[in-house]
Structures are given as C-alpha cells and as structure tokens.
Amino acid sequence: MPGEAVSEAILIIAGVIMIGVLAGAIYLSISYIGSAMDASSLAGSQRLLTDVQIVFATNTTSTTLYAYLQNIGEEPVYNLQLGTLYFGLENQQQPIGYNSPAPSWTVNTQVLNPGSTATITITLSQPLVKGSYYTVMYVTQNGVQAEYTFQVV
C-alpha cells in the first residue's frame, strides 16, 4: 500500500510538471504569434499612412536632372537614401545606386515630413536623348512608389 501511494504521488507530480511545461510552450507560441501580428499590423498601418508623389522632373543638362518628391501622406518618410530609385526610357527603367559613380542619385534631405518636398539629383553616365520620354520612379522602404514621366526638350 505505501508503495502504491508513493507511486501515485510521483505520477501526479510528473503529470503536474508536464501540464506546466505544455502550458508554458503554448503560452510562448501564442506570445510569438501575437508579436508577429503586432509587427505586421504596425508595418501595414505605416504603409497606409505613407504616400509620396513626384511632382515634377526635368533635366538641367544632358546628364543631370532633378526630380521633386513630395510627401502627401500623414507620416514622415525616414531614410530617403535607403529607398530605391529607378530611371530610364519610358517602360525601361533600371535601378540606379545612391551616391555612387554615375549613374547615381542623391537627395537633399534624409527625412521627408508630411507636406514637404525633397530634391533628388540624378547624374547620368550617358546623355539624355532629345525628344525621348524618360521615367523616374522612387520606391520607399515600405514599398510605396511614385513615378513621373517627362520628355527631354
């Protein structure tokens, strides 16, 4: 009899420990899922509040042009230099590097507050062709894009 009581006590203690371990694992899994949902929700809300447009683009020389990027969203756009800029003949744009050997681009600010405009300077390695249409497209880090097509005169 006393042996059975000890065996039962050991089994009950082992069962309680196993239930505790299982409950901890479930809680940890739910916590990870909740954190992922929070991060996804935050990224989605930031994307919904972010909006930019290129209000004008023109060349000043055959190898230099300016594009004016305006924040028309409700949130600031940080680290503009980490976005991606595409440039080229209409429907043939290629990504170009930031502050690198030509073709390259630079921007006059790193933070674009709502309502403000940044000047993007694009330096090309080949001259623009007069009469051709070119497209500038900027994509923010969170995937919001703006593009502008202009004709070289």
Strands 133-139 and 84-89: antiparallel
Domain ranges of the chain: 1-49, 52-151
The predicted-structure confidence for 64-83, as pLDDT tens digits, reads as follows 999 999 999 999 999 999 99
- 30: tokens are 């739910």
- Answer whether 0.75 is exceeded by the pTM: no
The predicted-structure confidence for 106-136, as pLDDT tens digits, reads as follows 999 999 999 999 999 999 999 999 999 999 9
Strands 104-107 and 94-98: parallel
Quickly name the fold that domain 52-151 has: Immunoglobulin-like (2.60.40)
Strand partners, 119: 68
- 7: tokens are 């065996």
User: Which of 80, 149, 148, 69 lies closest to 115, judged by CA?
Assistant: 69
